[in-house]
Amino acid sequence: MKIGLLGYGKMGKTIEQIALHRQHDITLKVEKDTDSYALENIDVAIDFSTPDAAVANITKCFNHNIPVISGTTGWLDHYDDVVALCKEKNGTFLYASNFSLGVNIFFELNKTLSKLMKNLPEYDISMEEIHHTEKLDAPSGTAITLAEEILKNSKYGSWTLDAAKLNDLHIHSKRIDKVPGTHQVVYNSSVDTIEIKHTAHNRDGFALGAVIAAEWIVGKKGVFSMKDVLNIG
Ligand SMILES: NC(=O)C1=CN([C@@H]2O[C@H](COP(=O)(O)OP(=O)(O)OC[C@H]3O[C@@H](n4cnc5c(N)ncnc54)[C@H](OP(=O)(O)O)[C@@H]3O)[C@@H](O)[C@H]2O)C=CC1
Ligand SMILES: O=C(O)C1=N[C@H](C(=O)O)C[C@H](O)C1
């Protein structure tokens, strides 16, 4: 498979290693905002760029009829517009806030736990996400995905980064040098605490999931998620 990497930073480089190991070719690498590029000789594009760049990269793929996988976070205010454009252009698109198999299992655990806790308002819920100091967005995309599921079954109105907003689900975002990604959900009452936690040890799991999604999506049309790829949820 011929893969175009839209974004060649920490994730782009890790994806390249995994893709080459799985016998794919990298036929395009876009390294920075100022790079002009043509979408030629590509079966699928994988976008791990920046919050400001993702929408333009994805749109360009739709315009050139190239299937596109996006793991870039921090642009989700435009997600509905991108989905509408994909349908209008009869394109192929898959976004995941987190491509790792472990986190996608963790998403299912989070969903199950939130349903179990639905009628137990004596538990206060909070979340923590920890990432490296180069991360541009907060909270993480993964934390937002977890929070949106919890909100369906809880007393909270929305998620917030502000600990003073007691009616909202607080996400504590910490930035610590080199941390690849840690997410924790905590249910706390006066008598006990229930916690679930996922810790990434490196970026390989994210990159492998993105390559598996790219392999899966070629030849398909529409808007997909990792639930479709992994057949879970
Ligand atoms: N969904 C998932 O599983 C995961 C998602 N992510 C997300 O992926 C994104 C990238 O992460 P990461 O690789 O760590 O970040 P990096 O900053 O290491 O890499 C991003 C790269 O994209 C480049 N870039 C800037 N503008 C463009 C553009 N217009 N087109 C293509 N590339 C561009 C940047 O260049 P420059 O430095 O010059 O700006 C940089 O080299 C982030 O949003 C992150 O949150 C990360 C890990 C897993
Ligand atoms: O920026 C990162 O590094 C990561 N970003 C994603 C997110 O925002 O959830 C996924 C992963 O946690 C690493």
pLDDT in single tens digits along all 233 residues of the chain: 999 999 999 999 999 999 999 999 999 999 999 889 999 999 999 999 999 999 999 999 999 999 999 999 999 999 999 999 999 999 999 999 999 999 999 999 999 999 999 999 999 999 999 999 999 999 999 999 999 999 999 999 999 999 999 999 999 999 999 999 999 999 999 999 999 999 999 999 999 999 999 999 999 999 999 999 999 98
CA of 50 to the centre of ligand 1 (A): 5
Radius of gyration of the chain (CA): 18
d(CA 116, CA 132): 32
On whether 10 is known to bind a ligand per the annotation, the reply is no
Interface confidence (ipTM) of the complex: 0.99
Walk me through the domains of the chain, giving residue ranges and CATH numbers: 2-99+204-230 (3.40.50.720), 101-199 (3.30.360.10)
Q: Is the CB of 104 under 6 A from ligand 2?
A: no
d(CA 57, CA 17): 22
Task: Single out the residue of 99, 74, 70, 73 nearest to residue 83, CA to CA.
Answer: 70
On whether 181 is known to bind a ligand per the annotation, the reply is no
DSSP letter assigned to residue 64? T
Ligand nearest to the CA of 56: 1
Q: What's the pTM value of the predicted model, to 2 decimals?
A: 0.98
